[in-house]
Amino acid sequence: MTVHMKQDEPVTDNRLDTMHQGVIGKPLSRLDGLAKVTGTAPYAAEYPLENCLEGVLVTAKITKGTVTHIDVDAALGRDGVVAVIDDPKLAARAAQGTAGEAPAQPARSVGYWGQPIALIVAETFEQARDASKHLGVEYVKENGAPLDPDTVAAELQDGATRQGDLAHAMTRAAHSVDATYTTQGHASAAMEPHAAIAHWDGEKLTVYASLQMLNYNIAELADALDLDEDRIRLVSRYVGGGFGSKLGISEDIISASVAAMELGRPVRVVMSRQHVFQTIMRRSETTQRLRLAADNSGKLIGFGHQARVSNLPGESFAEPVLQSSEFLYGGENRLLELEVARIHRVTAGSVRAPGEAVGMPALEAAMDILAEKTGIDPVELRLRNIPHKHPANGTPFSSHKLAECLTQGARAFGWDEGPRQPLQRREGEWWIGTGVASAARVHNVNEAKARVTLRPDGTAVVESDMTDIGTGTYTIAAQIAAEMLGLPIDRVLVDLGDTAHPRGPGSGGSWGASSVGSAIYLACKGLRGKLADMLGADEESLVLEGGRTSDGTPIGDLVRGEGWSIEGHYTPGKNAENWTVAGFGAFFAQVRVNRFTGETRVDRMLGAFGFGRVLNAKTARSQCLGGMTWSIGLALTEALMFDPTDGHLVNCDLAEYHVPVHRDVPDCEVLLVEERDPVASPIQAKGIGELGMCGGAAAIGNAIYNASGARIHAYPMTPERILGAMPE
């Protein structure tokens, strides 16, 4: 039995609030916590399969061209080498998120330096890795592949906003800002490198992999291998971080699968850290022009945001830099345009909060300049520019907590105490200052299925191929089911990350919890209906708590047979057309900038966020902390560097690509400004995972200016850039 819902309307009954178990929203510890802290949770590469071979990818040493010959015989002569896989099915790139089809093939066609071209398979990892360094490969090179996103012609993307006359608004504005910002590329750098173990039994392929979206990935792998989906099983029970990099299937998975099918033995492929950097998605660098035209009161009359990003030829993904600029602030004269330069660097794709992660820091830096020009406090300036409806398409906001986040955040942070002029506070070598920025991130939901089984022993099982990439899905899934069915949390088992289960929404775009949560909610509603039928009661008035009905009957006693299984099936409806749905928030940061060296440390940071219902206050807060930590990296340390001659990623390891370390991250405070968003999902929850980094870097950058007087138009704000901009 399936309970369907296509959500065309707001859902205002807030059913989760009417239940009695009292676990929804509570700061419960993760149900998978003990497995993770004791090292007993299995990640992709950690399933013990007998007779398993080890594969290591071989990558291209040219930027563009074709592999014409691979010296397989010489490789097979090396110690332990079993095979060289150079099948046309091997992928040249990883799949983009939600592609649902194979990524670019064959691997022999080279489009960027470092692209996988073959797989060496050997008895041991050391043998395979050694042989991978010595594979003889001949190429036909194509010279002149464009590498520089700033000099190649760019393609304008569809969907530009052109309203009124921005140029005219700029000339008649009392105050205006026209500033260009750059951001460098970023890497997801999930701690678990991409890995897969493939096992072919002659009929069916089982792949243990590190993936975010099994619901799409199974179709991608099926397409890549030309194999029916029902002959593939993907398992991703634990995923060591994704941040966009594991949205689509990657070269490790396809090559391990091809090898296992060809050799009849299990094959494990674990990418080296360098290969992950060089062959998985990068976040595109951006160049962004911001134009803000304001009247005397600081109200925007014109808003311009134009951005240039890059990607390989043939890739559909373009970093959606303008996503939140579309609706965050008013201004009747609007121009928003995004263009893509086609260059031959590794594929650009989703890295945590694609679009807003880099668009918001540029916009919010420009807003800081506008605040200074108008003489209006930056918090007040933002409050004055919150629109009542979408400024271009006119749709209403489903809920909107920006004002609350700004004002509550300012109060909690002590914003009003700080001088708003730069170079006012000094402690020894350090200038100290504060900054603010708004947060905004579009909310999405996705089709989702989940099965909930209520068993006669009074336990329930939740099953979906949805993944938990560290977001806390196991725990919130259990909380929703426990709340709806009136069960203690330890009577709910959650089984995720296996395509043997119903298709979930996948983890990405911050839509996981609200989408799969809605499917679980629907299934549980169905189960409540069955329980109500047994009692001759009506579902809505059914009171379930502590595993019992209101008259004390154990819930399991009402269940017949081996148990009742109901599938919840949630589909987004017309809400997306009729409403503007987004999460909002505000960041406040205090930094210190060394007046000699330009080194910057974040002293403290606060984020206030409104994203609908909080399903688990502990894991929700952790998601926000994670986003704020990424904001620090984006503001200060993270930058991909590409060689100008062949386009290869130069700093392709964790020593030279600087993700923040413990010491970079101070105490961060999180305010959860809770609300119910009836449009966002039937459980009134919105996305959380990305909002925490949509603008945070600007709070830090604006604080750098407030501290040191260095107005910088490039992220990250390294000592080099700060020294270059600091007044003497």
Partner 1 sequence: MKSFDFQRAEGLDHAARLTVPDTAMPIAGGTNLLDLMKLQVETPETLVDINPLGMAAIEDHGTGLRLGALATNTATAVHPRVRSDYPVLSRAILAGASQQLRNKATNGGNLCQRTRCYYFTNIDQPCNKREPGSGCGARQGIAHLHAILGTSDQCIATYPGDMAVALSALDACVEIASPGGNGRNVPIRDFHCLAGDTPWRDNVLEEGEIITAITLPAPVRGRQIYRKVRERSSYAFALVSVAAIVDIDEGIITRADLAFGGLAHKPWHDPAIGDMLLGQAPNYALFDRAADALLAGARGYGENDFKIPLARRTLAAVLAQATGVEL
Partner 2 sequence: MAEKITVNGVQHDVPADPRTSLLDFLRYHLQLTGTKKGCDHGQCGACTVLVNGVRINSCLTLAAMHPGDSVTTIEGLGTPDHPSPLQRAFVDHDGFQCGYCTPGQICSATALIQEIALDWPSDASEDLEGRIAATDEEIRERMSGNLCRCGAYNNIIVAIRETVDAVAEEDRDA
User: Catalytic residues, which ones?
Assistant: 690
Residue 650 interface partner, choices partner 1, partner 2, none, CB cut-off 5-8 Å depending on type: partner 1
Query: Is the Cβ of residue 458 or residue 660 nearer to partner 1 in the bound state?
Result: 660
Query: Is the Cβ of residue 598 or residue 682 nearer to partner 1 in the bound state?
Result: 598
Q: Which stretch binds partner 1 (CB under 8 A): 37-45, 463-471, 505-513, 716-724?
A: 716-724
Chain positions 50 to 69 lying near partner 1, rule: CB under 8 A, are 61
Q: Is 144 in the site for partner 1 (CB under 8 A)?
A: no
Site string for partner 1, 289-308 (x = CB under 8 A): --------------------
Query: Is the Cβ of residue 460 or residue 693 nearer to partner 1 in the bound state?
Result: 693
How far is Cα 39 from Cα 4, in angstroms, rounded to an integer? Answer: 39
Residue 598 interface partner, choices partner 1, partner 2, none, CB cut-off 5-8 Å depending on type: partner 1
What is the size of the binding site for partner 1 (CB under 8 A)?
39
CB atoms within 10 A of CB 100: 17
What is the nearest approach in angstroms of partner 1 to the Cβ of residue 662? 7
Q: Give the H or E element holding residue 580.
A: none
How far is Cα 280 from Cα 712, in angstroms, rounded to an integer? Answer: 30
What is the nearest approach in angstroms of partner 1 to the Cβ of residue 591? 12
- List the one residue from 40, 661, 667, 727 that touches partner 1 (CB under 8 A): 661
How far is Cα 269 from Cα 52, in angstroms, rounded to an integer? Answer: 10
How far is Cα 159 from Cα 319, in angstroms, rounded to an integer? Answer: 13
What is the nearest approach in angstroms of partner 1 to the Cβ of residue 601? 6
Residue 637 interface partner, choices partner 2, partner 1, none, CB cut-off 5-8 Å depending on type: partner 1
Q: Which stretch binds partner 1 (CB under 8 A): 202-210, 233-241, 564-572, 712-720?
A: 712-720
Q: Is 149 in the site for partner 1 (CB under 8 A)?
A: no
Q: Is 594 in the site for partner 1 (CB under 8 A)?
A: yes
Q: Is 719 in the site for partner 1 (CB under 8 A)?
A: yes
What is the nearest approach in angstroms of partner 2 to the Cβ of residue 701? 19
Q: Is 662 in the site for partner 1 (CB under 8 A)?
A: yes
Site string for partner 1, 91-130 (x = CB under 8 A): -----------------------------------x--xx
Residue 428 interface partner, choices partner 2, partner 1, none, CB cut-off 5-8 Å depending on type: partner 1
Per the omega criterion (within 30 degrees of 0), is the bond before 716 cis? yes
Query: Is the Cβ of residue 78 or residue 299 nearer to partner 1 in the bound state?
Result: 78
Chain positions 612 to 641 lying near partner 1, rule: CB under 8 A, are 636-637, 641
* Beta partners for residue 141, in sequence order: 65
Q: Give 259's contacts (C-beta < 8 A, 6+ positions apart).
A: 53, 55, 83, 85, 119, 121, 198, 267, 269
CB atoms within 10 A of CB 536: 6
Alpha helices in 264-306 (DSSP H): 273-279
In order, the DSSP letters of 219-262 are: HHHHHHHT--GGGEEEE-S--S--TTTTSS--HHHHHHHHHHHH
Q: Is 33 in the site for partner 1 (CB under 8 A)?
A: no
Give the dihedral of Cα atoms 677, 683, 685, 686; nearest 10 deg. -90
Query: Is the Cβ of residue 153 or residue 655 nearer to partner 1 in the bound state?
Result: 655
Q: Give the H or E element holding residue 177.
A: strand 175-183
597 touches 719 (CB < 8 A): yes
Q: Return the closest-CA partner of residue 470 out of 446, 496, 488, 442.
A: 496
Q: Give 672's contacts (C-beta < 8 A, 6+ positions apart).
A: 609, 614, 617, 620, 621, 624
Q: Which stretch binds partner 1 (CB under 8 A): 329-337, 495-503, 555-563, 597-605?
A: 597-605
Q: DSSP state, 716?
A: S
106 touches 92 (CB < 8 A): yes
- Cα distances from 691 to residues 444, 621, 627, in angstroms, run 12, 12, 7
How far is Cα 184 from Cα 671, in angstroms, rounded to an integer? Answer: 30
Q: Where does this chain bind partner 2 (CB under 8 A)?
A: 29-30, 32-43, 45-46, 48, 124-126, 188-193, 238-243, 270, 272-273, 469-472, 618-619, 621-623, 625-630, 653-655, 659-663, 665, 667-668
Q: Record the tokens describing residue 393, joined without a space.
A: 């398409």
Q: DSSP state, 415?
A: G
Residue 472 interface partner, choices partner 2, partner 1, none, CB cut-off 5-8 Å depending on type: partner 2
Looking at this protein, which amino acid is placed at residue 386?
Answer: I
With 0-12 / 13-18 / 19 or more C-beta atoms within 10 angstroms meaning exposed / middle / buried, residue 274 is: middle
Q: Is 663 in the site for partner 1 (CB under 8 A)?
A: yes
How far is Cα 449 from Cα 462, in angstroms, rounded to an integer? Answer: 11
What is the nearest approach in angstroms of partner 2 to the Cβ of residue 220? 22
Q: Is 209 in the site for partner 1 (CB under 8 A)?
A: no
What is the nearest approach in angstroms of partner 2 to the Cβ of residue 654? 4
- Cα distances from 470 to residues 209, 283, 525, in angstroms, run 15, 21, 27
Bin 147: left if φ > 0, else alpha if -120 < ψ < 50, else beta.
Answer: alpha
What is the nearest approach in angstroms of partner 2 to the Cβ of residue 318? 25
CB atoms within 10 A of CB 727: 9
Site string for partner 1, 150-189 (x = CB under 8 A): ----------------------------------------
- List the one residue from 68, 171, 297, 597 that touches partner 1 (CB under 8 A): 597
Alpha helices in 468-508 (DSSP H): 473-485
Residue 189 interface partner, choices partner 2, partner 1, none, CB cut-off 5-8 Å depending on type: partner 2
675 touches 689 (CB < 8 A): no
How far is Cα 429 from Cα 422, in angstroms, rounded to an integer? Answer: 15
Q: Which stretch binds partner 1 (CB under 8 A): 139-147, 319-327, 342-350, 656-664?
A: 656-664
Q: Is 74 in the site for partner 1 (CB under 8 A)?
A: no
Q: Is 660 in the site for partner 1 (CB under 8 A)?
A: yes
DSSP tally for the chain: helices H, then strands E = 17, 31
Q: Is 429 in the site for partner 1 (CB under 8 A)?
A: yes
Residue 720 interface partner, choices partner 2, partner 1, none, CB cut-off 5-8 Å depending on type: partner 1
Residue 184 interface partner, choices partner 1, partner 2, none, CB cut-off 5-8 Å depending on type: none
* Beta partners for residue 55, in sequence order: 121, 269
Query: Is the Cβ of residue 260 or residue 703 nearer to partner 1 in the bound state?
Result: 703
Q: Record the tokens describing residue 18, joined without a space.
A: 């009417």
Site string for partner 1, 540-579 (x = CB under 8 A): ----------------------------------------
What is the nearest approach in angstroms of partner 1 to the Cβ of residue 80? 10
340 touches 157 (CB < 8 A): yes
Query: Is the Cβ of residue 1 or residue 34 nearer to partner 2 in the bound state?
Result: 34
CA 531 to chain centre: 38
Query: Is the Cβ of residue 438 or residue 507 nearer to partner 2 in the bound state?
Result: 507
With 0-12 / 13-18 / 19 or more C-beta atoms within 10 angstroms meaning exposed / middle / buried, residue 158 is: exposed
Query: Is the Cβ of residue 376 or residue 668 nearer to partner 2 in the bound state?
Result: 668
Interface with partner 1 (CB under 8 A): 61, 79, 126, 129-130, 133, 428-429, 594-599, 601, 636-637, 641-645, 648, 650-652, 655-656, 658, 660-664, 718-720, 723-724
